[in-house]
Structure 1
Amino acid sequence: MDLPLIAPNPPRLSQLTEALSRVEASGTYSNHGPEARAFEREVTERLFGGRGATLAVNNATTGMMIALADAVGARGRGRMALMPGFTFAATAQAAWWAGLVPLVCDVDPDDWSASAREEERLLQRHGAGIAAVVPYATFGHAIDLDRYRWMAARHGVAVVVDAAASLGTIDAAGVNFGAGAPFPVVYSMHATKPFAVAEGGLIHCGDAGVIERLRAAANFGFTQPRIATIPGLNAKLPEVLAVMARARLETFDAVSASRGAVVRAYRENLSDRLTLQRAAQGEQAHGFFPVLLPRGSNRAGVSAALAREGIGAGAYFSPHLGEQPWVRDVAMIEPLPVCDDVGARVLSLPVTDTMTPADAHRIALALNRIVAAPRVAAVPRAIDHHETLVVGGGPAGTALLTATAKAGVLPALSRGLVIVEAGTTLGSGRLGNYAITSDSSADTFLTAVANNPHAEIAALVDHPATARVAAYRHGLGVPLVEVGPMLDALGDRLAQVVRSNGGQVMTGRRALSTRQEGGGWCTRIEDVATGTITEHRARHVVIATGGHQPIDRLAAQEVAGEPLSALAGGRLLQSDAVLSVGGTQMVADLIADARDPRIAVIGGSTSALTTIVALLKAPLPLGEGAITLLHRRPLRPFYPSAAAAQEEGFSDYGPDDICPVSGFVYRLAGFRLEARDLVQRMLGIDGRVPDPRVRLHRIGANEDARAREVIAQADVVVAALGYRPHALPVLDRSGTPIALSADVGGAMVDRHCRVCDAAGAPIAGLYGIGLAAGFVPWGRLGGEPSFRGQANGLWLWQNDVGMMIVDQLLGTQAKALTG
C-alpha cells in the first residue's frame, strides 16, 4: 500500500548519537533527567509562548491519570468524570484508574467534541456527583477552553483536558492550543501522533505549581527524597525518549506545515457529499483526516475499494466509547445519538509526514468516485413479521422485560419480539430528567438485577449506576437523576438478551399508528433520523408509551365552579414542568419580583405533594403560608399495617381501606416516602410539626370563595392534575381510528391489561402498561376495596402486571406454534 493510513516517522536514534552520548556521560537515564528538563523548557518556550510550565511523562494515559487524581483529590474517588463518547478508550481508562466513574455524554454534530448543552444538563442534574470534566479536543480540534474555565468556576468541578492529538494545533493567538490554561492539558507524543516520538506525553498548565505537584506524582509521590507524601506512580519520561522529543521539536514547524498543506488539499477537493469536521480558528494538527460518509454507505466496502487503489483508511473512533464493552460495565452512559451517527459513518484518511498535497488530491478524487457509486449503498432490510411488538422502551417497557427476565422466560418471549423506542437506548426514557425523588424505594430498583437468572443482568449489581442507587437504601426514595443511569444500564443488558435470543431492538424509531390486519396488527414506524417509514406486522402490540399532562385538560378543568385557566391566567404552570430539571429555578424566576411570594398547587395526587416537596427543598424565598395545596380528596398516608397506623394515632381508615392480601392500610391510595412524610407533618400525625410554609385547603362546593381567592392572590399556580396516557393511534381494518376508553376519560386498559375501546370492550391483541394506563390491581395483586383510581408503580410493572401481559402473549404464541 503506497499511501498507508499511518506511517510513523519519529526521529532516528541512529542520527542522534551525539545526544545519546550526552545521556551516557550524564549517567542519568530517567528521573526527570537533564534531557527531559531541557525538553520541557524548550517546548514551553517554542510551542506555548513561554506561558506556564510543562511536564514530560512516559505516555499521555499516565499523564491523564496523575492529572485527574491530583485535580479531584481523595474526595473525588467514587464520583463521576464527565467526558464525551466520541473519544479513545484511554480517556475512560485514565478516569477509572484515578478512582472516578466515567459519565459519558453525547457530542456536538459539527466538531464532534462534547456537547455544551449535554454537559450543562448533566452538571445541573448530578451536581456534586460530578468531580471532574474531561473534555476531548477531538482529532486535534481546538475546543473553547474559556467555556471550561467558566464551567469550573460555576460548578466547582475540576477540569483536565484530553488533548492527545493536539500538539501542533495553533490557536487564534498563534500559540499551541492549551497555552497558559488554568487546568492541566495532556498531550500525546506517541509514534502515530503528529508530534511523533516512540512514546511519551506532555502535561501543560498555566499554573507552575500544579506542574511541580504532578512532577512529584510522576515520581511515586516523592516530594522529599524517597519520601512519598502524595499519591503517585512511575510516569517519568526516559532520557532516550527525551532526546527523540527534542529532535522532533527541532523539525516540528516544517512537519506541521507539510501536514497542513495535505489537509488543505483534502478540504479543497473532497465532495460535498462527505461531511467534514468544522474547522476552528488557527491551524489544526492532524494525525489523519476524518470525514463522515453519506448515511447508508457501506464503510467496509468504501475502505476495501480504497485499499484496491493503494490507499489506507480506518475508522477512529468506531466503536465509540459508549460501545466499548469494558466501558459499558463501569461507566454511566447517557444516550449518544450523535456519537452513534458519527461513529457509524466516520472514515479516517491518511495524513503522513511524507505525503504531498497531490497525494491528498488523489485520495479525495478516489473517495468522491467511490461514494458516488451505487454498489456501496446499504441494502434496505425487508419488512419484518413478529409475534409481539412493544411500543416504548422506557421504564414501563423495560419493566415488562424485567418481569420476563426475572421469571426466566425472556428468551422465549424474545423469539419473534421487536421493541420500538424513539430514544437511542432502552431504560429510563424521560425519568432521569426529573429533579425529584422517586416514590419507589431503592430496593424496588435493585430487585430488578439482584439474583437475576441472566448473568449479564445480575452482574449489574456491581455497576457504578447500581451502587449509586443502593446508597439510598435507607432513604425516602432515590433521586430520579440517579435512577436514570441504572435503568439505562439495565435496558442495555435487557436489549442484549433480547437480541441474543432472536429478538430485535429498534431504537431511534417512533411508532406512528397501528392498524388491524388479518389476525394481528400492522404498525407504521418512522426512523427518527431519516424520516423513513416502514410497516411491521405482529400478532400482538404492547403499548408502553408513558403518560403526559395534556394542555387541553387545563381548559376544561374547573376549580370552585370556575375554569382554572380563567382563574390563573398567565400564572399557570403544569407540575411536570416544575418537577423537571431546572423547574424550580423557573419558579424562582417567576416570583423574583414578589415581596411575599405566594404559590398555589392544585391537586391531591402524588405529583401535587411531590411538587411541594421540590419547592420546599429549593432555595426559594418562601415565608409562612407561601404555598397552599388545594385538594378535593382527603390526604392519606400509607401504613404497613393497621397496628402501625394505630401506634401513630392515625385512625382515618376503615375495613375497606385495608388490603386483604398484604394488610397494608391505603396500599394504593396512600402517599409514600417523601410525599407521605409531608402529609404526616401537615396532618400533625403523632405529634409531627407542620411546615409553616405550607397551608392545606380542601376544596368544597362551587361557592368555595376561599379557593378562588388563593388562586387569585398566587404569583404562580401549579396544576398537578395527574397524567393521561400517550396512547398510540389505533385504526381498524379500513384505517378508521378506533375510539379508545382513554380518549373519553376512562382507563386505557382493563383488569387484564388489555386496551379497551370507548365502550369498554377489550381489543384483541392489544395490551397496555405504564404511567396513566389506568390499571387497578385485583385478586392476588391486592389493594384496598375502597380504592378508586389507577395504580402506577415500577414494582407492579416489573412483577405481577408485567407477567400478566407476558402470560397472555406466551400463551397465545404457544397455541399458534402447536395449533
Structure 2
Amino acid sequence: MNPIPFLRPQLPSLEAIGAYYRLAEEARFYSNGGPCERLLRERLSDHLGGVGCVPVHNATSGITIAVRAVTDAAGTGDRRFVVMPSYTFVATAGAVRMLGYEPLFIDVEPAAWQMDGEALTDVLTQRGTEVAAVLGTHTFGLPPAAKVQQGWQEICAEHGVPLVIDAAAGFGAVDDTGTLTGRDQAPHVFSFHATKTFGIGEGGLVTTLDADLLERIDALHSFGFVQGRLATYAGVNAKMDELHAASALAVLDGFDEILRRRREIAAYYREHLEPHGFAFQTGAAGGTWQAGYLVAPDAATRAAVLSGAAAASVGVTAYYDRPVHRHPAYADAPVHGGMTVTDDLAARALALPMANDLSEQERQRVVEVVLDAARGR
C-alpha cells in the first residue's frame, strides 16, 4: 500500500494564483500594499463580517506586532511577563522572548485543552502588576466556548492587562455560538503557513475590531508609518508581498469547500475512534482541522499507535507531546501553578493524517491502523 503522509499540503494552482497576480504585474507593484494585498484585506474583512485585517508575512511576526501594539496602548510595556499556556507551539513563546518579555506559563483545562480560566485568574490576582499582556491560544486553531472567551476578556480587563489571541490554525473556525474566530476587540493572529488549512506558503493575518489597535498594528508591520513616510511608531517590516497575497485570494475562492472536506474527514475519525476511548476537543466540530488531533486513552496506547502506524507507513504523529516549558529554550521560564493537565495531554497526544484530498480509502486505513494497534498493545 502507498504511504499516507501526516500532512499533504495543497496550495492553489499557478493558474489560479496568476489570475490575481496579473493585477500586480499590470501595476508593476509587488509589495508595500499593492493591488493584491489591498484586495485581500477587503475580502478577508468581508469574510469575517467587517473586522479590521492586516496581512503579514508570517504569524510569528504577527504575534510580535500584536503584543507590542496592545502593551503600548495599555501602558504595560515595561512589565516583565506575558502569560500563556504551555500546551502550544513554541512560536507563541518565541515571539514574546524576541520582544524582551519572559513567558509565564499556566495550565490548560482537560476537556477543550484551552487556557485554564481559573489558572489565569489566579496568576493575574497574584502577579497582575508584573504582567505586560496575556497571550491566549486557540488550541489547534479551535476557539473556546464563547463564555470561556468572555471570561478571559473580563479577568484581563479587571486587572488592566491586555489580551492577544494566537489563533494560528484557526482561520475559518467557529465557536459554540457559530461565531467566526477573529471578530473581537482583542487582536487575533492567524497563520497562513503551507501546512495550515488556509495555506499559502508563508503568511499570516492580524485582526481586530479596535480602531486604535488596528492603526497601531498596521503601522508596526510597515516600519511604523502612519501617514506617508512619517514613522509614528518604531516598527518593522512584516508586510505581505503581492505573490503571497495573490495566493491567499486564490485560497479564499475555494476555502468553504476545503473546510467542508476536512470537517467531513474529522467527523469520520471521531465517529470511529471515540467509542474506543480516544478523545477529541470539546467543540471540535467547529475547528479547521489542520490535522486530526486527539488523545489516546493512556500513554501506552499512544506508544502502540505510533509504533503500529510507523510500521504501516501511516503518518500518525504525536503533537504537542513536549509542552513549551519542557523545551530547553524555555526550561528556565517561570510556571504558575501545576501543569497536571498539560503533562497528561502531552503524554497521550496524537495527530492523524489530514489533507484536502484525503480519500475515503485513506481515512479508513488510518482508522484501521489506529484501532489495530490499540487493540494489540
Could you tell me the TM-score, scaled by structure 1's length?
0.44
User: Counterpart of 2:181?
Assistant: 177
Count of residue pairs the alignment pairs up? 370
Q: Secondary structure at the match of 1:204?
A: strand
User: Counterpart of 2:134?
Assistant: 133
Where in structure 2 are the equivalents of 1:617-766 lying within 5 Å? none
User: Counterpart of 1:337?
Assistant: 340
Contact 1:185 1:204 in 2 (8 A): yes
Q: CA deviation at 1:298?
A: 6.1
Q: 1:132 to 1:357 in 2, by over 3 A?
A: farther
Where in structure 2 are the equivalents of 1:370-769 lying within 5 Å? 370-374=373-377
Q: 1:281 to 1:338 in 2, by over 3 A?
A: closer
Q: 1:315 to 1:105 in 2, by over 3 A?
A: same
- Distance across 1 between alignment mates of 2:176 and 2:350: 28
Contact 1:81 1:134 in 2 (8 A): yes
State which of 266, 271, 278 in structure 1 corresponds to 2:269.
266
Q: Secondary structure at the match of 2:300?
A: coil
Contact 1:142 1:169 in 2 (8 A): yes
Contact 1:77 1:99 in 2 (8 A): no
- Distance across 1 between alignment mates of 2:348 and 2:94: 25
Work out whether 1:214 is the aligned partner of 2:213.
no
Work out whether 1:145 is the aligned partner of 2:146.
no
Contact 1:84 1:107 in 2 (8 A): yes
Amino acid corresponding to residue 63 of structure 1 in structure 2: G
- Distance across 1 between alignment mates of 2:275 and 2:135: 32
User: Counterpart of 2:311?
Assistant: 308
1:783-812 CA distance string (max 9 Å, x none): xxxxxxxxxxxxxxxxxxxxxxxxxxxxxx
Q: CA deviation at 1:345?
A: 1.4
Q: Secondary structure at the match of 1:111?
A: coil
1:748-790 CA distance string (max 9 Å, x none): xxxxxxxxxxxxxxxxxxxxxxxxxxxxxxxxxxxxxxxxxxx
Q: 1:20 to 1:281 in 2, by over 3 A?
A: closer
User: Counterpart of 1:431?
Assistant: none
Give the gaps of 5 or more residues in structure 1: 375-819
1:321-351 CA distance string (max 9 Å, x none): 111111123x212331211111121111012
User: Counterpart of 2:54?
Assistant: 55
User: Counterpart of 1:231?
Assistant: 234
User: Counterpart of 2:351?
Assistant: 348
Q: CA deviation at 1:271?
A: 4.7
Q: Secondary structure at the match of 1:268?
A: helix
Contact 1:66 1:98 in 2 (8 A): no
- Distance across 1 between alignment mates of 2:17 and 2:133: 41
Amino acid corresponding to residue 322 of structure 1 in structure 2: H
Contact 2:221 2:238 in 1 (8 A): yes
Structure with larger RCO (C-alpha < 8 A, sep 6+):
2
Q: Secondary structure at the match of 1:54?
A: strand
- Distance across 2 between alignment mates of 1:161 and 1:133: 8
Work out whether 1:66 is the aligned partner of 2:65.
yes
Give the gaps of 5 or more residues in structure 2: none
Q: CA RMSD in A?
A: 1.8
Q: CA deviation at 1:281?
A: 7.7
Contact 1:274 1:291 in 2 (8 A): no
- Distance across 2 between alignment mates of 1:231 and 1:361: 53
Amino acid corresponding to residue 147 of structure 1 in structure 2: G
Q: 1:304 to 1:282 in 2, by over 3 A?
A: closer
1:74-130 CA distance string (max 9 Å, x none): 642342111001000010011122232110011111111111111111111112111
Amino acid corresponding to residue 126 of structure 2 in structure 1: R
Q: CA deviation at 1:282?
A: 6.0
Q: CA deviation at 1:300?
A: 4.7
Contact 2:270 2:280 in 1 (8 A): no
* Structure with greater helix percent: 2
Contact 2:142 2:284 in 1 (8 A): no
Q: 1:75 to 1:87 in 2, by over 3 A?
A: same
Larger Rg: 1
Q: Secondary structure at the match of 2:133?
A: strand
Work out whether 1:101 is the aligned partner of 2:102.
yes
Identity %: 32
Q: CA deviation at 1:150?
A: 1.1
Q: Secondary structure at the match of 1:160?
A: strand
Q: Secondary structure at the match of 2:331?
A: helix
1:639-670 CA distance string (max 9 Å, x none): xxxxxxxxxxxxxxxxxxxxxxxxxxxxxxxx
User: Counterpart of 2:163?
Assistant: 159
